[in-house]
Amino acid sequence: MVGEITMKKYILNSFVAAAILFTAACKPEIETPAGTTAGQANFSKYIAVGNSLTSGFADGGLYLEGQQVAYPNLIAAKMATVGGGAFTSPFFSDAQSNGSGYVALTALVNGTPTITPVVDKLAYRDAAKHLTKYSGEIQNLGIPGMRVDLSFDPTLTFSAANPYFERLLTDAQVGKTNYFQFIQGRNHTFFSLWLGNNDVLGYALNGAVTIAGDPTTVLTDKVTFSSLYSNLLNALTAGGQKGIVATIPDVTAIPYFNTVTVPALLAAAKAINPAAQAVFIQTGTGAVRAATAEDLIRLPFQSAGLFGQGAIPYGLHPLNPITSDWVLDKDEVIKVKDYVDSYNSSIKSLATSKGLAIADTYTYFNQVKTGIALQGVNINSAFITGGAFSLDGIHLTPRGNAVIANVFIDAINTKYGSTIPTIDITKYRGVKFPDTK
């Protein structure tokens, strides 16, 4: 009797074991080389040099969630499978996770967004809006607002004026260093360099108006750019390190300049007053003329509350045009594009001469502008709905960061024969939509 029960148990267990073995054994296998080799590169200590994009800035601010999904952080996590070491970043603490503050989409009614600042859990340490200091080793060296020209700031004052830079410096360093000095001596084995956007964007974001005494609104001279960029590369490759550089996206490919369009403004004006004939702008030369679809209006104009206001309706009459600082007029667009092309040709030729990988984000963002389908997600440069750009219309969403990180990874793998695994972009979100009506 006992024997019989034992036997039954034995048979039952055998069946269960067989079933488990069968299920495990019959799993389909897919063999690929991903994650097996660093190729000719050494990823043991990777540093990321750059600006706001590198830091993880998004939605008009630098905050923890954005920092955690900055493209260098996503790349570094994947490098771990091919010999990559730890990657440290100047994260805000959980208590101050909203960092500089940022904006959130709080309502979307009939396609009209309401964008509201997030003001809790900020990391400001004083009324002058200095940020809580971060000390300790960092490898994500991205600083919002950093430019190629200001990396070499001879006055050393930008280290005090830029709160994101100031935050990373000791009191003794503030006002006494520049970014070029800051990024050196870090014993890196691999680097990424995505810098130069602000050398033209700073100018464009101000409607191509340079503010006297504000070096962040200057357009960097083309020859100067090339020479300084070369200095950066020389420093970063001083120990024979390998790395990757990225080209600068066409600033006119971002939602910031393609959301508030002249035809949309005119249609809105006509809806109220069918007699409206044209939108009037003041160009960079001071001339006033009717705007065309080739003139680009900055994104914040939509919530500035100016359009159509006043006894002489703003923007709808030659006597009260949209002022030049709101507009990248078509001649300014041509000028800005020309500078971007020049910077990119410098970046590519310098990188090529150094044997470095190139992430051609210029070309990639132009594809995004027309729309691409990736892993079942349609991504384009539409504001809010495009999925790639955050609510400031300039910086990337987590999904956008993942997409760009793959552009870097592909370029690194191609150049160095490495097999850094790519990132599953579907794990990363686009803009968060409010769940209220």
Binding site for other proteins (CB under 8 A): 23, 26-30, 32, 34-35, 81, 105, 107-113, 259, 264-265, 267-269, 302-303, 307-308, 372-378, 380, 382-387, 406, 409-410, 413, 421-422, 424, 426-427, 429-437
What CA–CA distance (Å, rounded) separates 415 from 354?
Answer: 12
- Cα torsion 375, 378, 382, 386 to 10°: value is -50
| Comparison of 217 and 302: residue with beta carbon closer to other proteins | 302
Compute the least distance from the CB of residue 261 to other proteins, in Å.
Answer: 10
**Sign of the dihedral defined by the CA atoms of residues 37, 40, 46, 48, in that order:** negative
Whose tokens are 């006119």? That residue is: 252
Closest distance between other proteins and the C-beta of residue 39, in Å? 14
Shortest CB 251 distance to other proteins, Å:
20
Q: Between 234 and 310, whose beta carbon lies closer to other proteins?
A: 310
Nearer to other proteins, 240 or 305 (CB): 305
Nearer to other proteins, 9 or 432 (CB): 432
**Nearest distance, CB of residue 424 and other proteins, angstroms:** 4
Q: Is 18 exposed, middle or buried (0-12, 13-18, 19+ CB in 10 A)?
A: exposed
Q: Which is nearer to other proteins, 340 or 359 (CB)?
A: 359
Quote the CA–CA distance of 181 and 292 in Å, as a whole number. Answer: 45
Min CB(379)–other proteins separation in Å: 9
Q: How far is CA 377 from the centre of its chain?
A: 19
Beta carbon nearer to other proteins, 341 or 410:
410
**CB of residue 368 to other proteins, shortest distance in Å:** 12
d(CA 72, CA 68): 9
**Burial label, 319 (beta-carbon count in 10 A; 0-12, 13-18, 19+):** exposed
Q: Is 186 in contact with 235 (CB distance < 8 Å)?
A: no
Q: Is 240 left (phi over 0), alpha (psi -120 to 50) or beta?
A: left
Identify the residue whose tokens are 């490495």. Answer: 418
Q: Which is nearer to other proteins, 241 or 381 (CB)?
A: 381
Residue 192 or 397 with smaller CB distance to other proteins: 397
Rounded to whole angstroms, how far apart are CA atoms 303 and 324? 17
Q: How far is the CB of 376 from other proteins (least distance, A)?
A: 3
Closest distance to other proteins from the beta carbon of 26 (Å) = 6
Distance separating alpha carbons of residues 261 and 304, to the nearest angstrom: 15
